[in-house]
Structure 1
Amino acid sequence: MIDALSSLGWIEENAEEEGLPVSEEESLKEQLNLFIAQNKQLTKEIINLKEENENFKAVTDSFQREKEQTLQLSKENNDTIDNLLQKTVQKDELIKDLESKIDFLNETQVNDSDIGLSIQNKENEIETLKSQLEDKNQKAL
């Protein structure tokens, strides 16, 4: 029993060392008072630890809710990003298609311009030949 009390911080006082005779009953009362004081102290510590534990649980629950909200928001943002990316790809394809059409129209316009110039040259040539033909016809008459 003395070893158990010593491990709790109680030191046995020897009656001979103090010079006062201590009865066994008084010794037991002192031990009981020490146990009661230690019990009160340990009970307070347990209560404090329980309160601390409850506070930690509340903080943990709060963090868990924040984590779930953040994950949900992240999922929504990822969905939005995926949708925007898909729209961007579609618009890029549309832009490439329109650029191809513009290039084709520009080439066609150049060809039309070349054909128009060629037609004009041929008309001028026809006019020149008509004029030469008329001159020959007048000389023949």
Structure 2
Amino acid sequence: MFSEYRLAQPVAARLLGVTIVGFALAVLAATAIVMLFATSILVLTVAIVGTIVGLFTIGWYLTQRAWVVRLNSDGYQVRFVRGAGTKSARWADVEEVVTDTVAGAPCLILRLRSGDATVIPVEVLAVDREQFVREVSTYLPA
């Protein structure tokens, strides 16, 4: 058994927005280099083509390939979540699964036997909150 949960579309859009700003700054820097140092326009052309390719690649990755939570029969892994706590653990180490609101966001909290926890804000996932909780529960040992 294996499940992956991808980024919710609004979260992917925010990340892509930050990426666009970064690429825009790179094109601005290339433009400044061409203007200030009278270098070849090829520098700006490479920056623009790189920006277009980069934006399409990152956009595709964020919407099609990037996963936030991966569950399998052994355990779970969490990526792209700041403040998640323990990013991976085995199911045997999970003591309790609870839902709670953390910083105003509904979260699934996996409390571990070691006293640590994994906090997963369900709003960043492209899945219904209740469905995600049910599916995580199916992985827990009886």
TM-score (norm 1): 0.25
Larger RCO, structure (CA 8 Å, separation 6 or more): 2
**By percentage of residues, which structure has more helix?**
1
Q: Which has the larger radius of gyration?
A: 1
**By percentage of residues, which structure has more strand?**
2
